[in-house]
């Protein structure tokens, strides 16, 4: 039995599709009781799991052999994920795959400083562990930029001319599925990137070609970016994390390209143009 935490999010949804397409029947963990009810009505094995409520952990882990660990990204994430690791070991789970962040071991930006203590707990737990460290998600263009692309033909980001090797979440899911279901990935930390590094200006040019309309990139200041995120409802502390990530990208640290996706899955990672073609409807 595989338990997928964070099942309702971008990565969790893609992972469930990947596992089910290969014949697996994972247990789905939702924090929201409404989402859990809908998934249960669709015939899935579902549990309500809230990392802030330790009493929900043991029932979720009952009979589980492998855990995909994905925290919600809010306050208390470190403590919540570490508690999952402890309970997974106590419940007899054998394997744990953690979704982390790009180059987390360096602890060079806020998200990495959050994830690295959890990674250390995973490494010390005595389970067969794998760490997945993806770069920025291509799906963030849909989740956070589609509105301005549709309405204004523009991408607004505080990234300067930094190049970033964005990765398609579907490739993250393919790597995660193999780490959860096959051997050879124990004790490994995979830095996951797309096939090339693009600036947001280059991404805008690609979207322009695919969509048949002009899309431009507007480099905004950190202060303007934070104000926009907060006004859109993002908690201030999380907006600060995002700004810090973009400072990190502006140093050039997000431009590396790795072979990890192909090494694990046997197929090349999805390029940005293919991603744009697959999701063109979201930008029109």
pLDDT at 34: 83
pLDDT at 199: 98
pLDDT at 277: 98
Class of residue 126 by CB neighbours under 10 A (exposed 0-12, middle 13-18, buried 19+) = exposed
As a three-state string, the secondary structure of 59-99 is: HHHCCCCEEEECCCCCCCHHHHHHHHHHHHHHHCCCEEEEE
Domains annotated for the chain, with CATH where assigned, are 2-196+254-283 (3.40.50.720)
pLDDT at 72: 76
Per-residue pLDDT of the chain (284 residues; tens, 9 = 90+): 999 999 888 999 999 999 999 999 999 998 888 888 888 888 888 998 888 888 889 999 999 999 999 987 778 899 999 999 999 999 999 999 999 999 999 999 999 999 999 999 999 999 999 999 999 999 999 999 999 999 999 999 999 999 999 999 999 999 999 999 999 999 999 999 999 999 999 999 999 999 999 999 999 999 999 999 999 999 999 999 999 999 999 999 999 999 999 999 999 999 999 999 999 999 99
| C-alpha distance across the termini of the chain, in Å | 40
């Amino acid at each position: 039995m595989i338990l997928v935490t964070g099942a309702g999010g971008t990565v969790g949804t893609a992972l469930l599709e990947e596992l089910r397409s290969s014949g697996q029947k994972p247990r789905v963990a939702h924090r929201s009781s409404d989402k859990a009810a809908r998934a249960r009505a669709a015939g899935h094995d579902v549990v309500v799991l809230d990392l802030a409520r330790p009493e929900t952990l043991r029932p979720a882990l009952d009979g589980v052999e492998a855990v995909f660990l994905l925290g919600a990204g809010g306050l208390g994430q470190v403590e919540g994920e570490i508690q999952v690791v402890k309970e997974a070991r106590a419940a007899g789970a054998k394997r744990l795959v953690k979704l982390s962040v790009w180059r987390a071991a360096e602890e060079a930006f806020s998200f990495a400083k959050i994830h690295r203590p959890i990674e250390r707990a995973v490494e010390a737990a005595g389970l067969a562990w794998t760490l997945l460290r993806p770069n920025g998600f291509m799906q963030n263009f849909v989740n956070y930029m589609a509105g301005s692309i549709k309405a204004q033909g523009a991408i607004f980001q505080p990234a300067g001319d930094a190049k970033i090797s964005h990765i398609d979440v579907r490739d993250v899911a393919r790597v995660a599925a193999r780490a959860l279901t096959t051997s050879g990935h124990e004790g490994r930390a995979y830095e996951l990137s797309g096939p090339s590094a693009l600036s947001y200006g280059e991404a805008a040019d690609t979207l322009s070609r695919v969509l048949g309309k002009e899309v431009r990139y507007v480099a905004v200041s950190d202060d303007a970016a934070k104000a926009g995120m907060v006004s859109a409802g993002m908690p201030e502390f999380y907006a600060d994390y995002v700004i810090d990530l973009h400072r990190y990208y502006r140093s050039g640290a997000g431009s590396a390209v790795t072979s990890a996706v192909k090494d694990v899955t046997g197929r090349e990672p999805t390029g940005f143009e293919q991603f744009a073609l697959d999701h063109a409807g979201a930008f029109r």
